[in-house]
Structure 1
């Protein structure tokens, strides 16, 4: 008989447990307790017998979406997206009558909005991710208006209301090739005036620098503070960006206990401004993550997931930079072997990240030359044949 923590639950029991955990997570003000309750809800849903849950599929999908909403509020957008994806997957799997998504449902954002994507994506995009299968009725309308970003732009020396407002302002100032006619009148007027006001531009950049200094001096560095600063990563100047990157890397390297929050900050930064990251930086970060991934004893699924996801981001950046020649013995082969084992994990979230990282690592060559690989393989064959010959020679046939 399977132990209690592996026993399959009926749909009614699983939904009851999951909904109880989610309701409690909504009510608590303790972030750690809320995250633990969300993990418990996820565990209950994963232990459910899907084959018996057809009549409850609406409630199951709603539970996964509610789980995703709570994770968003906790500052965990990647896990939230996986919950939304699971809800969509169940919707297609359980209800066989659901037609495949149409071409319109899988098309990206309209081309007309591409001119402001780099600025508008600074703001939260989780709602768009959740509704990625929904196409606005105006998306194929001729000459549809550009999207409006709901930020009030500050006047000279005005107080800013949020980090995202600051990020939006800096993003506008960085977009030198941005067509002015793609912006509304007030944004266009603000950009024109601020471009001529060097003191105001310096003030906005100084505010971003001061936020990084405040995070460096903060001994606790909770996830909310990290998310606030990471929001600025795409619009930081090179020295500020590298200072923030070094902070997260040192937090992972120096702390005796693995800092998951530092991983949550490092992962999006790697892809935010790749031109500020050197090839040597990526190799060193990958070495560090590989060591933490393989040497930590009995890690929690959350730690393994975060580490594997960050490894995926690093490998993506390395592939984009065409980095080759990783040390086969110390880095490439051990990491590839470990990721291959992780693909058999019971947690589907970990399996997805491990499989992605495994394929990404296959695209990055190690430092072994073809002749060295041939010599190594032939040496193993010769050694095996030699061992077989010795065994036959010592065989007593009498």
Structure 2
């Protein structure tokens, strides 16, 4: 589930170039894209004209897929004299990388900056009903050239790759990094752009996914552990593109020894239509509470009618054990830092994989009763202290833990 979510979360970046081509509506735009590719691919040293401008583009969240829920950011360089209009996108990666799938599974994610036709990129997001805001930056000619030279050098094949981190070094955090690296002490960010400081990574992520994508939130909450519950500094909020926009909104740049706002104009290129998306009707809470009630009723009937549910228990414990094994491997066998110290392992024990097959034996070892008793007792204790566990466990998992405790008790009493 985790890898499916992550793969979806980057789907827009994986196919963005092909979508740009599809979005071209006339020959002139196609020629513009071909010209841009020629320039980006072969010419890395170019002098910007006095008419050139550099801007930060923020694409608003979408509500069609989980990957679109957080928005996107890019840097635009527009020079009408040189007929150059490029978007520098730090959210792309290449399936053709050596050992791509192995590295992806292990959490060794290599992203890169790509140079794309800015107009095509904007049209793509507009066609997908995503709000688009452009912050035109008030830079001197020298500063524009410094930023542009940095971007062009960074876009070279030998420099384009970087080690991606979902929350601390992604396509949004790279935007501010570019300007700090290019301008040095001539730019400064004020961290007072956060209205609600002190949120954890999980809490901030939930702001963008919990309502419309509860199943996606469930997957994240299952697979990612206590690092997600670390409180963010204000500047660390910028892994979300909306906060990149806010950070630049109050940032300053030095001009002739004087500090001034870096944004000279904010253009609302496109405002998305409100389609009143409210999330799915069938939510994890609904499904898992219904599942628990069903398990409770069936277990009571089985006790009264004196029939065994051992084959059901085999499947149930097997699935929970497989989940536990996945969580354990994500923690110890991959570089997914956010998957460490996952307290879902308090109930999803990998040992259930072995126990599952013992539950169907006619002659069970005596220690199995102790194991089942511990499973039931610790499950109930976890539910009682659910709200104070250091990791914010998903509330929809509470009935699943109760269902597991119920069947552990049922198997013990058989």
- TM-score calculated relative to the size of structure 2: 0.25
Which has the larger share of strand? 2
- Tell which has more relative contact order, 1 or 2 (C-alpha 8 A, sep 6+): 2
Which has the larger share of helix? 1
